[in-house]
Amino acid sequence: MSAGVVGGQGVYERLFAVEGYAEVRRIAEERLAAEGPDPAQYRWLGLGHMAEDEDDHDAAAETAFRRGLELAPDDIDLIAAYAELCLRADGFDYPGRAKRAPQLVARLEELAAGSPQDQHVQDVLAWHRRGYFADFRLRTVEAMGRRAQVDQQSADLDAALNARRADRAVSADLQPSLDLSPTTVPERHREAVTAATLEELSGKADAPARFLARNRAGAWVVATGLSFATNRLLRTFGVVDGISLWGFLWFVPLLLLDRRLAAARARARRAVIARVVAEGPGPSGEGSGESVSAD
């Protein structure tokens, strides 16, 4: 489940679009240190921790939300964010946090029933009450999303190599003039992933890796068939009894390739985050009250 983000079209929202949660926390902490206590900065600090979905970060997020609510008890964005944190808390490990959830939900309904913040919390509440099969479907969708990300990287690499072969220029960098608004950051990130993948597999010795990356889905099918065939032959000729690990060696090049593709995605993400931070806040700043989400 994504962490709810309520805010403007500035640097925080753009960082959330590429999962730059550490930078969100760093900027919020710097602004709090420089400008003093501010509810909006505490909210972003808390959201930056909550998005990590780890116990230590959840505790830090709660601290930030509570400090923000001490300054602005009726801030519906803070209440919504804190309510989401409490709703997803484990009632056995964190009973106090879980008990606060109904109070926060009720308070939000009292202050802003029907608002985007209230609707988001209601969606979180419905997700919190999901059953086993709904949870299984959610995990399946998340797994399919991760696979789609790699498939997209493979398809973009193929298109970029075809364009290069046709002597059309392929940008290898994020140019300063490119729009990095929250709605375009994902597209800029996709372009950066393609550029980083081309760089990762640009060596002369990487021709086989480029071929596998461009035909990744088919390569996994072929490797699976070769694995079964190898194990079948080894059993047929009495080399091994039962299942052998030798057949699975066909998957090694693909696993190594996936690691390189993941490294390229990580470099691209860092490049986009660095560009967002370098450009600073967007023209409308933080705090417009629009609701978005960060996966």
Question: Given this model, what pLDDT does residue 67 score?
Answer: 96
Question: Given this model, what pLDDT does residue 134 score?
Answer: 57
Question: Given this model, what pLDDT does residue 261 score?
Answer: 95
Decide if 157 contacts 214 (C-beta within 8 A).
yes
Integer Cα distance of 122 and 210 in angstroms:
46
191 Cβ neighbours under 8 A, 6+ residues apart: 171, 174
Residue 105 CA to its chain's centroid (Å): 26
Q: What is the dihedral of CA 112, 115, 121, 125, to 10 degrees?
A: 90
Residue range 122-150, pLDDT digits in tens? 888 877 665 566 556 667 777 787 888 88
Task: Enter the pTM of the model.
Answer: 0.73
Strand partners, 292: 5
Question: Given this model, what pLDDT does residue 289 score?
Answer: 42
Point out the residues of the chain with pLDDT beneath 70: 1-9, 128-138, 166-182, 280-295
183 Cβ neighbours under 8 A, 6+ residues apart: none
Q: Supply φ then ψ for residue 241, to 5 degrees.
A: -115, 125
Which pair of structure tokens corresponds to residue 155?
A: 């398809």
Question: Given this model, what pLDDT does residue 127 score?
Answer: 72
Write out the residue limits of the CATH 1.25.40.10 domain(s) in the chain.
3-129
Integer Cα distance of 212 and 154 in angstroms:
9
**Helix 116-128, helix 76-87: angle, nearest 10:** 0
Which pair of structure tokens corresponds to residue 227?
A: 């694995």
Q: Which CATH class is domain 3-129?
A: mainly alpha
Decide if 15 contacts 273 (C-beta within 8 A).
yes
What are the distances in angstroms from CA 210 to CA 161, 257, 261? 9, 9, 11
Closest CA to 174 of 13, 9, 25, 14: 14
Decide if 137 contacts 197 (C-beta within 8 A).
no
